Amino acid sequence: MSTFASSIRSHLLETFSGDSKGTPYWVANIEKGNDEGFFGPGSAAWAVHGGMPTMVAGIRALLMQTLHPGAMAGVHDWSRYKEDPLGRLAGTIQWLITVTFGDRALAEYESGRVSKFHERVHGIYTDSWGKERPYSAGDPELLEWVHVVFTDAFLGCHEVWGDPIPGGADQYVREWAKAGDLVGVANPPRSENELREALHRFNAAGILKHDERVEETIAFLRNPPLRKTMMPFYRIMFAGAVASIPKEYRDILGLKKSRWPAIWATGAILRLLRWLLGPSSTSEDAARVRLARLATTSDL
């Protein structure tokens, strides 16, 4: 691998894992544990969250999340995304990967850690009708919105750029509902149709809105403080994320598809990044080490 390619690989790993070698400290915990976890090899969750489209899905999820003024207020008032955007990204990835590949106890612990952090997130926001309302990160509506747009983004991006999902879209939504249960979502969607209906309810109720905070966050997501060598890759993936969002939500965001073929270009970038990063993730490898240990123990 050339020096340039090695440098890009190191920057990518540091960006998405917080470690230039791609093995953050918490991955070691995935090797530990006494069960397969909530999912396991062959699951839809492993297929989706172990795939390269997750890089684009994260951008899409953050864009969609801005449309709920309560969720946007929480990000604006409490998030460190401007001061430490990569730290916030790494924290989200830690939860996602741990719940996906860790054993049940670790997944529950990480979800509890996230919920505990959210306990202090509260304040006032102005809704789409101009009325001030209190919010907290534990509000059922906000928990549902964040879970729904997260699930929609990862499913939608994998359907555009990933391999076939074991069991299809319904299986992924049904499996990932468990993650919603773990962080307190009251009744997460358990089929693709339920997921689409949940998104539609938020839009049809007039809850979603575009304001200056949405503009500010979009501007930041369009041009985050990444290394210069990363930005050409990122700009293509940003355009791909925008192009993958259904038109009705793109319209609320005030975003348009690029005039160049962003879907195709993003696919090319993801294939290149897969070559740079290797065929499997360190987290999936760690999970397989745990499963092999458990299989050996059960044979004794």
d(CA 218, CA 239): 12
d(CA 280, CA 290): 16
Surface-to-core class of residue 203, CB atoms within 10 Å of its CB (0-12 exposed, 13-18 middle, 19+ buried): middle
Distances (CA, A) of 298 to 23, 106, 291, 292: 28, 21, 10, 10
Query: What band does 83 get if pLDDT is binned at 50, 70 and 90?
Result: low
Provide the token pair at 117. 């952090």
pTM of this prediction exceeds 0.85: yes
Query: What band does 73 get if pLDDT is binned at 50, 70 and 90?
Result: confident
pLDDT, residue 193, reads: 97
pLDDT, residue 113, reads: 85
Which DSSP letter does residue 186 get? S
pLDDT, residue 114, reads: 82
pLDDT digits (tens, 9 = 90+) for 168-223: 999 999 999 999 999 999 999 999 999 999 999 999 999 999 999 899 889 988 98
* Spatial CA neighbour of 183 closest among 111, 117, 135: 111
d(CA 201, CA 49): 26
d(CA 59, CA 16): 12
pLDDT, residue 128, reads: 85
Averaged over 38-46, what is the pLDDT? 95
pLDDT, residue 230, reads: 82
Please provide residue 245's backbone torsions phi and psi, each rounded to the nearest 5 degrees: -75, 135
Averaged over 16-38, what is the pLDDT? 75
d(CA 226, CA 211): 25
pLDDT, residue 239, reads: 97
**Residue 173 CB coordination number (10 Å):** 24
Please provide residue 26's backbone torsions phi and psi, each rounded to the nearest 5 degrees: -75, -15
* pLDDT mean across residues, the chain: 86
Residue 28 has pLDDT above 70, yes or no: yes
Query: What band does 56 get if pLDDT is binned at 50, 70 and 90?
Result: very high
d(CA 53, CA 161): 6
Residue 86 has pLDDT above 70, yes or no: no
Averaged over 221-244, what is the pLDDT? 90
Query: What band does 22 get if pLDDT is binned at 50, 70 and 90?
Result: low
Query: What band does 227 get if pLDDT is binned at 50, 70 and 90?
Result: confident
Q: Give the rounded percent of residues in the chain with a pLDDT score beyond 70.
A: 85
Please provide residue 94's backbone torsions phi and psi, each rounded to the nearest 5 degrees: -60, -45
pLDDT, residue 297, reads: 77
Q: Which of 20-29, 40-49, 287-296 is least confident? A: 20-29
Averaged over 138-153, what is the pLDDT? 93
